[in-house]
Structure 1
Amino acid sequence: MMRSLYAGVSGLQNHQTRMDVIGNNIANVNTTGFKKGRVNFQDMISQTLSGAARPTEEVGGVNPQQVGLGMTIATIDTIHSQGSLQSTGVNTDLAIQGNGLFILKNGDKSYYSRAGAFGIDENGLLVNPANGMRVQGWMVEDIDGQSFLNTSRDVEDLVIPVGSKDPAAATSEVNLACNLDKRTPEIPEGATAADIQEGTWTLDKKIYDGFGNEHRMTINFTKVNGVNNQWQATVVIDPDSEISTNPTLDIGGNGNDGNTFIVDFDNLGALTNVSDGQGDALNQGTIQIPVSFDVLDSTPDGTGAVERQTFNLTLGEIGSYTNTVTQFAETSSTKAYKQNGYPMGYLENFKIDQSGIITGVYSNGTNRVMGQVALASFTNPGGLEKAGESTFVESNNSGEANIGPSGIAGKGKFIAGALEMSNVDLAEQFTDMIVTQRGFQANSKTITTSDQMLQELLTLKR
């Protein structure tokens, strides 16, 4: 008689626990990055009234007789299924589409989370603003003037110093891709200034010195009189300046060649040769002409030293038509499609792509990779322990964190400007709630009925 009472009690207790888990799931239905729990039951040990007997020649076998002693909780699982993504438009919000987890640090203690509602603190650190935990990743390393992102290093705090300076960089390369109109008339001897202007095509491009000062580079292309498919080009730096910048070329590597060079084309409009007045020529591969000019290092008293700056003027590849100076019977076009100098700028904004790479956007128009957000994955994510504040920590059965960039070992990818919502399904939870309630009610009936039977037993003596 007492067995049914205790079986009913175990049913009540464990259905209460299941209801606790369901209640927690429903309470966190709108919690960012929350992963729902699930309770599984199993029967408790059974009392054997009689054991099993094997068959004999006279009779068959006999099954064991056992009475169950109730039920208990088998597992309370954390279900790490993907939650829905909600767009927020906040560039520091991150969602993960895959199995990875963010790595957060509180001192030396590591936490893992799917909640990506991040922000930037006073020091430019990328943090969880709810608790100040620091988001981990890799910052760009500067080695010999080159930036490298080494994801094989240990993770570190991510810093986004909004408002920091990007130093000016001098122009070291200017690439041309213009077309010179084959139909341009030649300039005869004794031509007037108007005739010269009409027969000259001018290409204009801004360049920068090492201080971030802007300069104007012009190249005047004039068709050579009496020679087919040949143009004379003159390079001028700051043509409107009262101070001469003294531009010079170095085509053959023999020093100062003035500021004029000759460009030759074949009958199909492709570049064939570039030469100077001393007979130095370039006629193979990609044509690059070193151009030097004076830069005045101004001081407050109006004086300053003159420095010499050099950049490569790239005309393109011999025989090519792509990103190269050409000569066709089409209107001349001005296209210096690339120069790599810029003035000083400030970090105004940043963006995070699907790989978690953080790119800074500066006021001078440059974009620079600053770092990358790291992800962790586990052999058994269900073995992680919940540590509160939407975080997890490693346990003995989760395995060690496999830390790396996105897209590796099923870690997934980032969705910037979005958050992952809870994976709780209300319809499922309400159904489980009804089943749990009925299970609790049925177990209470078991106790009530057992009590009535005991009462009947006590009245037998009357």
Structure 2
Amino acid sequence: MLNSMYSGITGMKGQQTKMDVIANNIANVNTTGFKSQRVRFQDMISQMNANAQGPNNNGRGGINAQQVGLGTQVAATDMMMQGGSLQFTGRALDFGIQNGDNSFFIVSPDGGATGTNQYTRDGGFYTDNEGNLTTSNGSTVMGFTPAGGPQLDDGSVNTDITNGQTLQALSIPQTIGTAPNEIELQDYNIDNTGTILGTYSDGNAYIIGRVALASFANADGLEKTGENLYNASANSGEPIEGGPSDDGFGTIRSGFMEMSNVDLASEFTEMIVATRAYQANSRSITTSDEMLQELINLKR
């Protein structure tokens, strides 16, 4: 059989993979914090019909190698980590990361009990009936808390609570102190450094904690696990933990959500290219079949 038929098959398989990625990007055009992907191809091994030869002493010049390629294969499915646009929601627990394409929220599926953390750009958080800050699937949001519990704000927001502190599950307590000196939460807000400030019934503001961020040496190497979550991999590097607005990290915008970075115009253009490439590869198979048919028809 002709190698061109099998080369055409590899081309069709590659374009099918590309179409799968394009369809997934389009399906997630409204997914919060979604990062689109692209497919890159590389050629497969080439059959050597004649080796290259250098010039000889008789005055004959060199001859290039004669090679015939045997098709294509998927080289990589890259994640495009550029930040999506921030959309205003006005909700206090909606967080968007600004100017930090390499920064991620840190969440834990077990409240930090085992130290198994996951990472997300989806900043749509909630509080449960115990005040724990959670994601939509119940994972707890990790951060730093002042030693000894909430501390009175002296007028200058203290971002040094990250120093010497380990990651903990964040919560916004409804009450502080013990009876009969308990004070109740009246309101809270989060500034662009990720610091959570709560106003209690005594009229004072207290620093409750600070949202943590993580960055990676190679964020493209993170593995998607579904539910807008990523896991660190062998090629992403170990997470570097810090706070919003610190060097190397983005800032947090409360009341905003990061949208998907899918560009529909680009995706539909790539869809057309993939369709035509698929048709061209299928045509190379049918043309090879016609050549074989002509060969068979030599004997009648």
The two structures share one fold, judged by TM-score above 0.5: yes
Q: Distance in 2 between matches of 1:33 and 1:383?
A: 17
Secondary structure at the aligned position of 1:80 is classed as coil
Q: Which amino acid aligns with 2:107?
A: L
Q: Is the 8 A contact 1:151 1:404 kept in 2?
A: no
Q: Distance in 2 between matches of 1:408 and 1:371?
A: 15
Q: Within 5 Å, which residues of 2 pair with 1:207-222?
A: none
- Residue equivalent to 2:124: 117
Q: Are 2:160 and 1:159 equivalent residues in the alignment?
A: no
Alpha-carbon offset, residue 167 of structure 1: 7.6
- Residue equivalent to 2:12: 12
- Unaligned 5+ segments in structure 2 are 154-159
- What percent of counterpart residues are identical? 48
- Residue equivalent to 2:145: 139
Alpha-carbon offset, residue 166 of structure 1: 5.9
- Residue equivalent to 2:269: 431
Secondary structure at the aligned position of 1:137 is classed as strand
Q: Is the 8 A contact 2:105 2:120 kept in 1?
A: yes
- Residue equivalent to 2:156: none
Q: Distance in 1 between matches of 2:152 and 2:173?
A: 20
- Residue equivalent to 1:106: 109
Q: Within 5 Å, which residues of 2 pair with 1:243-262?
A: none
Alpha-carbon offset, residue 345 of structure 1: 4.0
Q: Distance in 2 between matches of 1:434 and 1:156?
A: 48
Alpha-carbon offset, residue 165 of structure 1: 4.1
- Residue equivalent to 2:71: 70
The two structures have a TM-score, normalised by structure 1, of: 0.60
- Residue equivalent to 1:45: 45
- Residue equivalent to 1:94: 95
Secondary structure at the aligned position of 2:261 is classed as coil
Range that drifts further, 388-397 or 408-417: 408-417
- Residue equivalent to 2:212: 374
CA-to-partner distance for each residue in 1:258-310, whole Å, 9 max, x for gaps?
A: xxxxxxxxxxxxxxxxxxxxxxxxxxxxxxxxxxxxxxxxxxxxxxxxxxxxx
Indicate how the Cα distance of structure 1 residues 408 and 55 shifts in structure 2: closer, same or farther if over 3 A, else same: farther
Q: Is the 8 A contact 2:135 2:141 kept in 1?
A: yes
CA-to-partner distance for each residue in 1:67-87, whole Å, 9 max, x for gaps?
A: 000000111011110110001
CA-to-partner distance for each residue in 1:7-49, whole Å, 9 max, x for gaps?
A: 0000000100000000000000100000001100010010010
- Unaligned 5+ segments in structure 1 are 169-210, 213-343
Q: Which amino acid aligns with 2:103?
A: G
CA-to-partner distance for each residue in 1:138-195, whole Å, 9 max, x for gaps?
A: 112238x888824432201001023x14689xxxxxxxxxxxxxxxxxxxxxxxxxxx
Secondary structure at the aligned position of 1:39 is classed as strand
Range that drifts further, 416-425 or 362-371: 362-371
Q: Which amino acid aligns with 1:64?
A: A
CA-to-partner distance for each residue in 1:45-104, whole Å, 9 max, x for gaps?
A: 100100111012421110100000000011101111011000111101101111210001
Q: Are 2:252 and 1:410 equivalent residues in the alignment?
A: no
Q: Distance in 1 between matches of 2:38 and 2:274?
A: 12
Q: Distance in 2 between matches of 1:359 and 1:69?
A: 63
Greater share of residues in helix: 2
Secondary structure at the aligned position of 2:148 is classed as strand
Q: Within 5 Å, which residues of 2 pair with 1:287-302?
A: none
Greater share of residues in strand: 1
Q: Distance in 1 between matches of 2:217 and 2:275?
A: 35
Q: Are 2:95 and 1:83 equivalent residues in the alignment?
A: no
Q: Distance in 2 between matches of 1:444 and 1:71?
A: 14
Q: Is the 8 A contact 1:166 1:362 kept in 2?
A: no
Q: Which amino acid aligns with 1:430?
A: F
Q: Distance in 2 between matches of 1:121 and 1:151?
A: 28
Q: Distance in 2 between matches of 1:348 and 1:63?
A: 80
Q: Distance in 2 between matches of 1:141 and 1:61?
A: 76
Indicate how the Cα distance of structure 1 residues 125 and 151 shifts in structure 2: closer, same or farther if over 3 A, else same: farther
Q: Which amino acid aligns with 1:135?
A: V
Q: Distance in 1 between matches of 2:251 and 2:152?
A: 27
Range that drifts further, 417-426 or 400-409: 400-409
Which structure: larger Rg?
1
